[in-house]
Amino acid sequence: MEQALAGLRVVSLAVNLPGPVAARRLLALGAAVVKVEPPAGDPMARYHQGYYRALAAGQEVVTLDLKGEAGRGALAARLEAADLLLTAQRPSALARLGLGWEALHARHPRLCQVAIVGFPAPRQEEAGHDLTYQAAAGLLQPPRLPSTLLADMAGGERAFGAALALLLARQRDGAGRLAEVALSEAVAALAEPHRLGLTTPGALLGGGAPGYALYRAQDGWVAVAALEPHFRERLEAGLGARDAAGLGRAFLGRTALAWQAWGVEQDVPVVALPGA
C-alpha cells in the first residue's frame, strides 16, 4: 500500500491542521505533495513547531504570494501538472485568487479539488474552529477544553477519503471534480453515539454498565471495557463482584499496571490510564 498513489501529484494550499493531515495520508500512500505556504508561513509552525515539521515531512514546501501575479503564475504551473488540489480557505478567498471552482476547472479540467470548509453550504463563509465545531456537536464539558482536536483530525481523514474518491471517479471519465468537506459535519458524524443517547450519562456506554467504566486503582485509574457477556462474566468471576460499588472496591486492591497485566492474563479489556 505504500506506493498505491505513486505517480500522483498533490498541491496543497491548506495550512493549520485538517489539510496537512490529509496531505500526510496521501504522501504515505506514495503521492508527491507540494505544500504551498503564504509569505507569513503556516500558523501551525508558530503553534507547535515539532508538529508542523512532522506534518510537512517528506513534502516539498514552497512559499508563494498568491496575491501577486508572479505567485499566481507559479501556482498555475504547478497545477498544470497536478492531479489534486487541497484547499482550506473560504470560497470567497479562493475566488479572489482566481481559484474558484468554475475558473479552476476551466483551466485544469483533469484537476480534482478537495475544499475543506467549516460548515456545509450555504454556510461555507461562516467563521469557526475546532472548539466551536465540537461545541455545536455537544461534545464539550465546560470548563474543560477538549483533549484532542477532534473536528480537525476527523476533517483531515474525511478530506483524505474524499480525495481518493475523486481520483477513482476520474479514472472512469478523465474529468476533475470538486468535493467539499465540512469540519462541522465531520465532528457531528463522530458525535452520533452521543447524539443518539448511547454514551450520554447513565446510558449503556455512559456509566450505565458497571463492566464498562473507569475505576480507581491503588495508584491511578483503569479503563474497563467488559461489555460483551463473556468478558463481563470473567470480570465478575475474577473480582467477585457484579455492581459498580463492588468492582470499585476490588480495583483498589492493586496498582493500575497490575490490573492491566491481570486483564491480559484473563482476556478481559483492562488498561491502565497513562501516568499510572
Active site residue 130: no
Catalytic residue, chosen from 65, 105, 129, 194, is 129
- For CA atoms 170, 176, 178, 181, the dihedral sign is positive
Query: Which three three-digit cell numbers place residue 181?
Result: 468537506
Asked if 118 and 124 touch (Cβ cutoff 8 Å), the reply is yes
Q: Could you tell me how far CA 136 lies from the centroid of its own chain?
A: 17
Active site residue 152: yes
Please list, in sequence order, all residues whose beta carbon lies within 8 angstroms of the beta carbon of residue 138, skipping any fewer than 6 positions away.
191, 194, 195
Asked if 22 and 15 touch (Cβ cutoff 8 Å), the reply is no
Catalytic residue, chosen from 108, 152, 173, 243, is 152
Asked if 116 and 87 touch (Cβ cutoff 8 Å), the reply is yes
Query: Which residues are known catalytic residues?
Result: 129, 152
